[in-house]
Structure 1
């Protein structure tokens, strides 16, 4: 198991423990609602909501061929989640690199951010942009950008 799944698993376990306690207190309705909230939080913080990640070297090769931006991200990052949700269907057009799964991706992010692993970092035409506006990222996908 990689560390990308630690937060989602902890959320699911905490939700289960709290819901079990509520059931023993005789409040099954509250337990179900709370468990659903924790399941939703688990899903939102899991790598499953993001398009499939590829390695940094492969993303750079593909980006050089098709000109699409590369997004360096990690699970549990609320800014990465914000970017992913606000991009909607457009997110599938980008190349996504999970820095917790790819050491080369983490190295690219550290090089762009003075040694910090600040995400999301979007690489457009070889230039890094840290936590850019989702609308700006969407415009980078258009042919006229």
Structure 2
């Protein structure tokens, strides 16, 4: 956003308000897509595990800026709300869980279904793991 703001200010100083507006909208949209705001509210890894044990819903470990996480989120649509989301950049326990599942790497999205990790699963497969009552 800082770089975008500087570029917009430079365009405005050059007398190009239309280009500045278009660039500003582009940067705001890009920032919104890569922010945690595009995802359901995250919980901590311990809380997600507790909730998953209680209701059987999968846990998605993700991080802001991840194109694969964004793809998963948007392809799931409303079904994304049925999952427990853990932002590994905000939760050290979540990051440790992902590293344990991926041989030390923080590869996301990592989805845990019934205690088994699945790395970057197909959204349709994941949708099929949701029970109709959830």
What is the aligned-residue RMSD (CA, Å)?
1.1
- Residue from 113, 118, 122 that aligns with 2:111: 122
Structure 2: runs of 5+ lacking an equivalent: none
Query: Residues 1-145 of structure 1 correspond to what in structure 2 (within 5 A)?
Result: 12-143=1-132
Partners of 1:98 and 1:26 in 2: CA distance = 41
4+ residue runs over 6 A deviation = none
Deviations 1:93-134 (A, max 9, x none): 000001111111111100000000000000000000000111
TM-score (norm 1): 0.89
TM-score (norm 2): 0.96
Structure 1: runs of 5+ lacking an equivalent: 1-11
